[in-house]
Amino acid sequence: MMEWTDRHCRFFHRLLTRRALIYTEMITTGAVLHGDRARLLAYDAAEHPVALQLGGSDPRALAQCARIAADLGYDEINLNVGCPSDRVQEGRFGACLMAEPALVGDCVAAMKASVRVPVTVKCRIGIDDQDPEAALDALAHAVNAAGVDALIVHARKAWLAGLSPRENRDIPPLDYDRVYRLKAAHPALAVVLNGGIVDLDQAAAHLARLDGVMMGRAAYQEPWRLLTVDPALFGAGAPFASPKVAAEALMPYLERELLRGTRLHAVTRHILGLFRGVPGARAFRRHLATEAVKPGAGIAAFRAALALVVDTDGQMAHTAAA
């Protein structure tokens, strides 16, 4: 998620779930080809499985970027057909590609031809005055014919004229039934649902009818939920007995990053929502908000914040160690 997630966030989330697939924020083909590639595509080996999301609409550039990412070890390449920002519309990619299914098919075909890892697409159910029945079917048909490995559908339209990107994540109504109908019409296509999924009960209900679910804001704002993903959805042990133990496991990473010159806040900003309903959660957030942002803030600030949280160790069932 642009502006929110980065490699630090992914490393932290990977501590909380070993099984869920993690996606980068969208990175444009222009940035990969002409920007600071090493920084933009950097990730830690611990993040696997990790997918790179690309923004673009030139099949050759996308194929080139997909190859670069696959060579770097990314486990999946995803094409963004859902971002509604003005910048993206000017570049003729993101959600406006919902109006150009044949071009999206060409993009997928080019990417598929250049890599062995899965190539997926993330789209909306339509844009502006498109009929979601026809628009989503046309897109699904095009990408399916091109060999796409999965279609992730943010189950609402994007209204490109008149709404801000933020409004476009809330105001157009969610239509899960449209995504269920898509799956029914294309049983062989892996269909993943995104949009408004806030807890794992909801996720499990969708999984009974679809091939996958993607959580965005809930995962970021309430990362404690990720600690139950492995037991609840994958039948595996939770990586840690409690959010506090998971936070302690982040220490070596923090120390490493601080030595590399990363500011403490760059990592800890992703952790603020880790404790919910845990005594000391607010004090933890407040301490980090004031101390971790100070120039030169070190690991001691994180330790001190963590010391304010009561450990709920043992309250979570099904840990990996159990």
Q: Which residues bind ligand FMN (CB under 6 A)?
A: 1-4, 25-26, 53, 80, 82-83, 122, 154, 169, 194-197, 215-218
3-state SS, residue 282: helix
> In the complex with ligand FMN, which residue's Cβ is closer, 28 or 319?
28
Q: What is the CA radius of gyration of the chain?
A: 20
Q: How far is the CB of 231 from ligand FMN (least distance, A)?
A: 21
Return all residues near 281 (Cβ < 8 A) that are at least 6 apart: 275, 309
Confirm if 120 and 148 have CB atoms less than 8 A apart.
Answer: yes
Q: How far is the CB of 92 from ligand FMN (least distance, A)?
A: 17
65 a catalytic residue: no
> In the complex with ligand FMN, which residue's Cβ is closer, 195 or 212?
195
Output the six-digit token pair for 225: 């939920």
Query: Could you give phi then psi for residue 36, rounded to 5 degrees?
Result: -80, 80
DSSP secondary structure letter of residue 319: B
Task: Name the residue number minimizing CB distance to ligand FMN.
Answer: 216
User: Distance between CA 240 and CA 68 in Å, rounded?
Assistant: 34
User: Distance between CA 26 and CA 36 in Å, rounded?
Assistant: 15
Output the six-digit token pair for 248: 């302690």
Return all residues near 168 (Cβ < 8 A) that are at least 6 apart: 84, 95, 158, 159
> In the complex with ligand FMN, which residue's Cβ is closer, 48 or 217?
217
3-state SS, residue 188: coil
Confirm if 94 and 80 have CB atoms less than 8 A apart.
Answer: yes
Q: How far is the CB of 156 from ligand FMN (least distance, A)?
A: 8
Residue 122 neighbours by CB distance under 10 Å: 22
Residue 19 neighbours by CB distance under 10 Å: 13
> In the complex with ligand FMN, which residue's Cβ is closer, 81 or 264?
81
> In the complex with ligand FMN, which residue's Cβ is closer, 28 or 114?
28
Query: Which element (helix H / strand E) includes 137?
Result: helix 132-145
The letter for the amino acid at 29 is T
Q: How far is the CB of 198 from ligand FMN (least distance, A)?
A: 8
In the set 83, 96, 107, 123, the catalytic residue is 83
Q: How far is the CB of 170 from ligand FMN (least distance, A)?
A: 8
Question: Which is it for strands 212-214 and 50-55: parallel, antiparallel or unpaired?
Answer: unpaired
Q: How far is the CB of 219 from ligand FMN (least distance, A)?
A: 7
> In the complex with ligand FMN, which residue's Cβ is closer, 25 or 106?
25
Which residues are designated catalytic?
A: 83
